[in-house]
Amino acid sequence: MSETLPSAGESDPGIVLEIDALYRRSPYWELDAADARTFVSAVPPGGEPRQANWSGEVLARSRVVDVNERAAHLVGALDGREEMIGRPIAEFWPPDSHDDLAELIAAVVTDPSPHATRTRDIASLLLQDPVLTVWRSPESGADTVFATVKGAMIDRRSYWSLRASEDRYRKLIHHMPNPLLRVDARVMGRVFERLRAEGVGDIDAYLDDHPELIAFAEQSVRITEANPAAAALFGVRSPADLIGSVECLFKASPETARRVTIAHFDRRRSHAEVMKLRTLDGRLLDVQIAVTFPTPPEQLDVTVIGLDDLTDRLRTEAQLRQLQADITRAARISTLGELATSIAHEVNQPLAAIFTNAETSLRWLSRDEPNLVKVVQLTTRIVASARHANEIVHRIRAMTSKHAPELLPLDLNDVVDEALLFLRHDIESRSIRLSTRLGLGLPRVIGDRVQLQQVIVNLLVNSVQAVAQADTRDGRVELSTGLGPGGEVVFVIRDNGPGIPEDDLDRIFEGFFTTKEEGMGLGLAICQSIMAAHGGGIAASNRPEGGASFRLWLPAEPEPA
């Protein structure tokens, strides 16, 4: 803060001229300071005991004689110019510079010179680099002082409305449930200007050569304000404990500091990412950091950093994924359980053939003249059947095993064939007619074989059960694959069972919705989530001629470029 003291006792026409010009453009006050002078004479500013509210006392004793419209607008909006006349200036003057005004008034009224003038830089929310001038005029008598403030307007609103919005802003920040930091990064703004002036354009490359710039930024960019939520996040008692360098933010994520620096240099409006945060009490958190850099005409010392603790959310998401995988697997196994008879039959078939062929071979071998040609033929068949049995076992194991989804190009027709493996026997034993029309030359789809098998098995089981429930002599299940209107690969399964009650059509894909007494209601929900994960979908409808129809679709594998 600087104070200009013009030489006492001399009239400076320059100042007067300037003041006349200012009168029109700048806020201007005429004050009656008689009481103030009495008070100041009794209690000088530097004197002992200095009263706690010395400035307030001086300003309470300085009454407004006149103000111009500018001054009324700037600080008197609540009352209007007329209401200000005769009232103490203390009621209108911005508190930030109470001390400045009081000290200058005291200096002027106690200065014996009739031209006494004092000038001082003050702080203001409204004006850029404001300069306060207080003076006395020989014409107006010893008790009248004038005051004016020179400086470019930052904000066209009046002080009080700005002050109110500043208060609202502070309250908002304070009560915000999200951790917020106000940061002064102006020092880096100046560094970046210099670098640009030196011709640095690629900050990325520059930082590779000058890693010390990031360390410098971390130390010199300062947190100037923090809210209670930020204090809680960092594990400190008070927001004041966070005031200081931003270094504490990036302890566990040095690369984040680098990316924030780059974003700032590149004059981006904001930068956000998920990073690890080491709190001041030693916890390691996953947080989303969002940095918003100021751009003119905003105050350049206000960079706002928002932090969002994602630790619980990420952990919950991981648990949910695990749970979903477990449920999917459990549902798969329970589906397989329902299909146990069918599967047992499927495995037993080649085993029975092996058994019988082996018995026959033994009979040929135990003859007086063994028929080795026959034995070779039978043994070859045994190998083929054993291989077949082995393949079935592999498929069942693949269905029940825990495996991470594997997205590979697939022929949907193969998946349908494999799914049928689990059900062919079930379908046959219920005397249900199964017809399969698989489209030829379909494009491949990208998907997880086991998951897609599971979806088709699920739909097949539902259809078979629906048809069996209908108890008709003529149960039918029709499967078909083909190309959809948008080039997608489509699988349709239709049955002639009782169909789906219209009221349930919208709900059948919801989890835990079931019409079966022993069902969990997860089958179709899992089908839907699997299809969604594949970028495809599933839809259900009733056929006009009776029975249900389910349609699956999957995007075709993109043509190689």
Partner 1 sequence: MSHVPVIAIVDDDEAMRDALSELIQVMGFSTEAFDGAAAFLADLAPGRFDCLITDVRMPGMDGIDLQRRLRALGSVMPVVMITSAPDPAGRARALQGGACAYLAKPVDDCALLGHLRSALGQDHRPGGRRDEDDSPGG
By CB atoms closer than 10 A (0-12, 13-18, 19+), residue 88 is: buried
In the bound state with partner 1, the residue whose beta carbon lies nearer, of 276 and 363, is 363
Closest Cα partner for 105 from 68, 151, 56, 71? Answer: 56
In the bound state with partner 1, the residue whose beta carbon lies nearer, of 130 and 350, is 350
Is 385 a binder of partner 1 (CB under 8 A)?
yes
Considering the complex, what minimum distance in angstroms separates the CB of residue 414 from partner 1?
A: 21
CA 53 to chain centre: 48
In the bound state with partner 1, the residue whose beta carbon lies nearer, of 391 and 428, is 428
Interface of this chain with partner 1, residues 288 to 317, rule: CB under 8 A: none
Considering the complex, what minimum distance in angstroms separates the CB of residue 339 from partner 1?
A: 13
Is 475 a binder of partner 1 (CB under 8 A)?
no
Considering the complex, what minimum distance in angstroms separates the CB of residue 357 from partner 1?
A: 5
In the bound state with partner 1, the residue whose beta carbon lies nearer, of 271 and 425, is 425
Is 179 a binder of partner 1 (CB under 8 A)?
no
Contact 106, 147 (CB under 8 A): no
Calpha distance 239→225 (Å, rounded): 7
CB count in 10 Å sphere of residue 455: 26
Interface of this chain with partner 1, residues 144 to 173, rule: CB under 8 A: none
Closest Cα partner for 95 from 175, 169, 47, 167? Answer: 167
Contact 423, 460 (CB under 8 A): yes
C-alpha distance from residue 127 to each of 26, 27, 317 (Å) = 11, 11, 50
Residue 196, strand partner residues:
none
Interface of this chain with partner 1, residues 315 to 344, rule: CB under 8 A: 341, 344
In the bound state with partner 1, the residue whose beta carbon lies nearer, of 353 and 446, is 353
Is 428 a binder of partner 1 (CB under 8 A)?
yes
Rg, Å, the chain Cα set:
43
H helix or E strand, kind and range, residue 163: helix 159-175
Considering the complex, what minimum distance in angstroms separates the CB of residue 342 from partner 1?
A: 10
Q: Single out the segment in contact with partner 1 by CB under 8 A; choices: 30-38, 227-235, 381-389, 528-536.
A: 381-389
By CB atoms closer than 10 A (0-12, 13-18, 19+), residue 86 is: exposed
- The secondary structure of 45-112 as a DSSP string is TT-SSPPTTHHHHHHHT-EEEEE-HHHHHHH-TTT-HHHHTTSBGGGTS-GGGHHHHHHHHHHHHT--
Q: Which two tokens stand for residue 28?
A: 């201007």
Is 383 a binder of partner 1 (CB under 8 A)?
no
Calpha distance 534→553 (Å, rounded): 9
Q: Single out the segment in contact with partner 1 by CB under 8 A; choices: 20-28, 224-232, 380-388, 467-475.
A: 380-388
Q: Which two tokens stand for residue 221?
A: 């960019």
Calpha distance 153→118 (Å, rounded): 22
Number of residues that bind partner 1 (CB under 8 A): 27
Considering the complex, what minimum distance in angstroms separates the CB of residue 428 from partner 1?
A: 5
Q: Single out the segment in contact with partner 1 by CB under 8 A; choices: 80-88, 378-386, 391-399, 465-473.
A: 378-386
Q: Which two tokens stand for residue 48?
A: 């002992």
In the bound state with partner 1, the residue whose beta carbon lies nearer, of 139 and 369, is 369
In the bound state with partner 1, the residue whose beta carbon lies nearer, of 150 and 395, is 395
In the bound state with partner 1, the residue whose beta carbon lies nearer, of 140 and 349, is 349
Is 476 a binder of partner 1 (CB under 8 A)?
no
Considering the complex, what minimum distance in angstroms separates the CB of residue 363 from partner 1?
A: 5
Is 468 a binder of partner 1 (CB under 8 A)?
no
In the bound state with partner 1, the residue whose beta carbon lies nearer, of 51 and 341, is 341
Considering the complex, what minimum distance in angstroms separates the CB of residue 310 from partner 1?
A: 54
Considering the complex, what minimum distance in angstroms separates the CB of residue 338 from partner 1?
A: 15
In the bound state with partner 1, the residue whose beta carbon lies nearer, of 319 and 431, is 431
Considering the complex, what minimum distance in angstroms separates the CB of residue 417 from partner 1?
A: 16
Contact 206, 198 (CB under 8 A): no
Contact 531, 550 (CB under 8 A): no
Considering the complex, what minimum distance in angstroms separates the CB of residue 351 from partner 1?
A: 6
For residues 345 to 374, the per-residue mask of contacts with partner 1, x marking binding by CB under 8 A and - elsewhere, is x--xxxxxxxxxx-xx--xx---------x
Is 376 a binder of partner 1 (CB under 8 A)?
no
H helix or E strand, kind and range, residue 343: helix 340-365
Is 549 a binder of partner 1 (CB under 8 A)?
no
DSSP-derived pairing of the beta strands 117-121 and 3-4: antiparallel
Calpha distance 455→479 (Å, rounded): 13
Cα within 13 Å of Cα(239), Cβ side: 15
Q: Residue for token digits 């499927």?
A: 346
Interface of this chain with partner 1, residues 397 to 426, rule: CB under 8 A: 425
Q: Which of residues 38, 380, 429, 469 is near partner 1 by CB under 8 A?
A: 429
Q: What is the DSSP letter of 491?
A: E
Considering the complex, what minimum distance in angstroms separates the CB of residue 419 from partner 1?
A: 17
Is 431 a binder of partner 1 (CB under 8 A)?
yes
Contact 547, 487 (CB under 8 A): no
In the bound state with partner 1, the residue whose beta carbon lies nearer, of 431 and 469, is 431
**Which chain residues interact with partner 1 by CB under 8 A?**
341, 344-345, 348-357, 359-360, 363-364, 374, 378, 381, 384-385, 388, 425, 428-429, 431
